[in-house]
Homo-oligomer: A and B are copies of this chain.
């Protein structure tokens, strides 16, 4: 029963929809989300997919379903170690994930891994030319792995919200490792660092110039740094790059947790350095749990999303006011004539609306 209902809700799924002969309108909706939530809690992958599809959907119906699902499942979330992965395009994030997840699956019989992707570029293009779906094939076949290539965010709150909800749903479904990979460009690092417990930054051993370019922002965000592609000719370069990175890291004092981010040398291609990665991440998680950083970080993140979503909602609700449209149009006309700056115009609109 629960499975069938899940399929019914999953609009992207190919099976024919299950038609309930005892259709009861609104009650039906409640039943659907209840049984879907139940199926997610039992670790049903099809139900999990369907639930994430609902979280990503922009239809008002799905929004109601999503709220009810999230209210049910949010209290069951929080059980995974959430790891964000970032690095410039070409650094080998997908190859790394494939190698590392294989290692984890082989070494930890209890590991269940979810891989999610954050792609803010999809707000422009609704997708990437070259998806990572086709990569990560070897791990994708395991029943202990769930890969969701690209969470697009059409609804209010955007990419961040649908990714947050996807993390919650994966945790409710019993996944204990969640990787959130940044895809594309733009604000992905910021979003990912505010959704995860641990931020893993992949870099390439290269010119000193490249390392200098890693600005303080990302160095402060990174909890673990790995130099990927440390193979073949690059081995010597790698050593030097690692020393330089460690030097740069020493300039940063992390008062909040006193964690010293390790710099690892790995090769995802040859699957070397995976054990060191495992122990670095494990050490971070254990220290973070013992000292309460992870809990503290999650608290701060939730506060952040709470506040940032309020901004978006306020805009949505206030713009439904009658005076809004008229004032806003007249100010936009002044803006386009170059009479007033957009920032000044927004202040004037506020003065009228909230008068």
Give residues in A with beta carbon < 8 Å to B. Answer: 67, 70-71, 74-75, 77-78, 88-92, 119-122, 124-125, 127-130, 157, 161, 164-165, 168, 183-187, 189-190, 206-207, 209-221, 248, 251, 299, 302-307, 309-315, 317-318, 331-332, 335-336, 338-347, 349-350, 354
The distance from the CB of A304 to the nearest CB of chain B, in whole angstroms, is 8
Interchain CB contact under 8 A, B314 and A130: no
Which of B74, B157, B215, B315 is within 8 Å of A340, CB to CB?
B74
Q: Assess whether A341 is in contact with B90, with CB atoms less than 8 Å apart.
A: no
Q: Are A120 and B217 in contact (CB under 8 A)?
A: yes
With A78-B338, A186-B189, A331-B306 as known contacts, state yes or no: A215 contacts B346, CB within 8 Å: no
Q: Is the CB of B315 within 8 A of A307?
A: yes
Query: Are A183 and B215 in contact, CB atoms less than 8 angstroms apart?
Result: yes
Could you give 12 example pairs across A and B, Cβ below 8 Å?
A70-B341, A74-B339, A120-B190, A157-B343, A164-B343, A184-B216, A186-B217, A306-B346, A309-B342, A310-B349, A311-B311, A311-B314
> Judging by beta carbons under 8 Å apart, are B216 and A125 in contact?
yes
In the complex, the answer to whether B89 meets A215 with C-beta atoms within 8 Å is: yes
A220 touches B341 (CB 8 A): no
Residues in B neighbouring A342, C-beta threshold 8 A:
164, 302-306, 309
Closest chain B CB from A303 CB (angstroms): 6
Q: Which residue of B lies closest to A346 (CB)?
A: B309
- Chain B nearest CB, measured from A91 CB (Å): 8
Q: Is the beta-carbon distance between A344 and B74 smaller than 8 angstroms? A: yes
A313 & B125 in contact (Cβ 8 Å cutoff): no
Do A75 and B212 touch (CB < 8 A)? no
Query: With the chains together, A317 CA to B210 CA distance in Å?
Result: 43
Q: Is the CB of B350 within 8 A of A314?
A: yes
Which residue of B has the minimal Cβ distance to A129?
B216
User: Quick one: which of A78, A120, A313 has the most chain B CB within 10 A?
Assistant: A313
Q: Pick the contact of A220 from B125, B189, B343 — CB < 8 Å?
A: B125
Question: Is B313 in contact with A217, judged by CB distance below 8 angstroms?
Answer: no
B341 touches A184 (CB 8 A): no
Nearest Cβ on chain B to A267's Cβ, whole angstroms: 14
A206 / chain B contacts, CB cutoff of 8 Å: 90
The docked-state distance in angstroms from the alpha carbon of A336 to that of B340 is 43
Q: A212 and B339 in contact (CB under 8 A), knowing A129-B219, A218-B184, A306-B331?
A: no
Contact A251 B129 (CB under 8 A): yes
**A311–B309 CB distance below 8 A:** no
Measured between beta carbons, the chain B residues less than 8 angstroms from A70 are 341, 343-344
> What's the minimum C-beta distance from A215 to chain B, rounded to whole angstroms?
4
